Structure 1
Amino acid sequence: MLAGKKILLIIGGGIAAFKSLDLIRRLRERGAEVVPVLTKAGEEFVTPLSASALSAQKVYRDLFDLTDEAEMGHIELSRAADLVVVAPATADLMGKMANGLANDLASTLLMATDKRVLIVPAMNVRMWEHPATQRNLATLQGDGILVCGPDEGAMACGEFGPGRMAEVPEIVEGVEAALRDGPLKGKRILITSGPTHEPIDPVRYIANRSSGAQGTAIANALAALGADVVFVTGPADAARPRGVEIVEVQSAREMLEAVETALPADAAVFAAAVADWRVASASDSKIKKDGMGKLPVLEFAENPDILATVSQMKAGRPGLVVGFAAETDDVVAHATAKRERKQCDWIVANDVSPETGIMGGSENQVVVISDQGAEAWPRMGKDQVAKRLAAEISTALQE
């Protein structure tokens, strides 16, 4: 599927840069044309000669090359590619990208491109976990930058943890996914995922038991079919999906605002476990025990119903609205009633009783309820549920 595709490969500085040479070879084996760009730091680990020999292309290094810049070469390079890949993406490169800096060829290309960008982070574990790096990552993902990795493992510095550059086969898969023209290409799909946290005071909150794993799997499956996915998530434990626009929220009201901002969309999948209630007046300071055994009195308010709000929109309603129902008894009856009450198109219902092990587990067993009735699916991994649901959504959107 990479035949005839042109990939601009920016090689950052770091010991992991040696993988970029194998990446060039693997991409070319699949028919891609790879144009390498070396940063100054990248040249400390990879020679221009080796990158040129493997790519059979000129290696670009200098922003102020008189020959190339006579025709605004950095603009042409950034626009001629089908995809821009940064591998390895160092903390420095990520910082430049997140903050709009452009003081060398690589960063200028990244600012000037109108194509999708896939970064492959690689750095020391402490650098990866540093708040500045995580802020920059969140900014880049919010800007629609695709991310592959990093993996967890032993590093050249002797430490162990996240920050190790993804292996070449995984990067190739990421490139293929970024260039895939699937059946949902051109379709915008909104997904909510994870729990919401409703504050009681600065240290306590009300939440639902949701890892966000099923929502992440659905986002990945829809993106793999070519959809433009907006992923609105509460503070979930699950890893965030790759190659989608990510919006992080905390409360139900923040989630509703993010959803309304993300519309219009061709379809919306509401997999989030939104808290039904919030404390009407959350305390600005920690609520203390009075030492006399007197319990605090909490007054609750009902949270906005995001699913019903979108389902019942008079204008701008997505063509397909899918809700979720986590039940502990009479699953089909309660979910059917919920679908009718909310006025959504489908409800994906499951039994989350403790004995099922579904809440927080790796498997799910759902019943999909529509105007055609209730269809029970066998128990399977959450990734398999997501792929099957994505296929059903794709079929519905083609009709």
Structure 2
Amino acid sequence: MSDYRRITIASAGQHTGEPVEIAGWLYNLRKSGKIIFPIIRDGSGTIQCVGVKAQLPEDVFEALKNLTQESSVIIRGRMRAEARAQGGYEMDIEGAEIVQRVSEEHPYPITPKEHGVEFLFDQRHLHLRSRRQHAILKIRHEIIKAVRDYFDSNGFTLVDCPIFTPAACEGTTTLFEVDYFEDEKVYLTQSGQLYNEATAAAFGKSYCFGPTFRAEKSKTRRHLTEFWMVEPEMAYADLEDVKRVAEELIVFMVGRVLENRKTELATLERDITKLEAIKAPFPRISYDEAVEILKRKGSEIEWGGDFGGTDETLLSEEFDRPVMVDRYPAAVKAFYFQPAPERPEVALGVDVLASEGYGEVIGGGQRVHDYDLLLQRIKDHNLPPEAFQWYLDLRRFGSVPHAGFGMGIERAVSWICGLEHIRETIAFPRMLYRTRP
């Protein structure tokens, strides 16, 4: 069988009429008398194959005819164009090799029938093989590649930040504590931002990209306890720079998905007109204006309160693209936010709320760059100054105005894919009551 060249299903159209083989798994099987139609998946896509009894050795036809779902198989034959087929091509079978046949006594547990959510996530290691999950994770891959390409082509240096940290970034109540050596306590990072401020002072513009952890006992559709975040930081930058870069990043990222992942968006039945509307400039409103909009829409929010998920949804319904809300009350923001010089009760921060009610996807702003003010803010938040000596050093040695933001990858994926729940956006989600598989 050496005459058969191995290809991927994604490249099927480049090999019409050639003797080729596909190594994959049986996704589904239809039979019609003396013809069988095994649908094969190989990770790059799915393709319908056609096996005619009269044209195959009897043992090959019978093996394929009785093949069980998710059995691994190598199919050999030739591609031909077929306008009615998904992908536009079918494969005429000339031979096959069964690599491993799934036992009928222990069949593949995820069948074409409807299954409950908890069952599917108990079987997540297998659930990933479904068309829907495959499409979501392909789009996630595209988003991550776009994020890296944007920063790499705009002068940012990737610098990885530690996952074990000695102190909090976002508040001590949402930290996962870990036993370190010799009875030392450390925490799983909530953000790489503090370290990013050091790398921005070294490189001018830097970003980190990695897993972050929040010990929030939340069961909402927007929360995971482990998620991935990209965090750029810029020296000699202010709030307006954050807004500009955030807007550019989102437009670039959505454009890449629309360009390269139309098939996956179609699998998810995503309304791409909603994504096509995501163009600059994004509307920009102040927290004060946002509160007035919310009150008009029936929210009980009062000035000084942070926005909940419902508030973010109500706001985003006003616009056909993401909206930027800036200058929140300093009291609801982290200790490192720079107060507005003309109005110290508000912080020079911004949240970017995704369209269609998906809530915050980006949060960031300008950092405190004055040593004395930062020290006071650390004390005001009841944080131990000794744990932040290195961070305070950044204000002793060449301090400059600087700014940055964080974007949660899973929230971006959820929004761009149009998903109901964030748990589908990562291969193996970690939530309040889920740590397996």
TM-score (norm 2): 0.25
TM-score (norm 1): 0.26
Q: Which has the larger radius of gyration?
A: 2
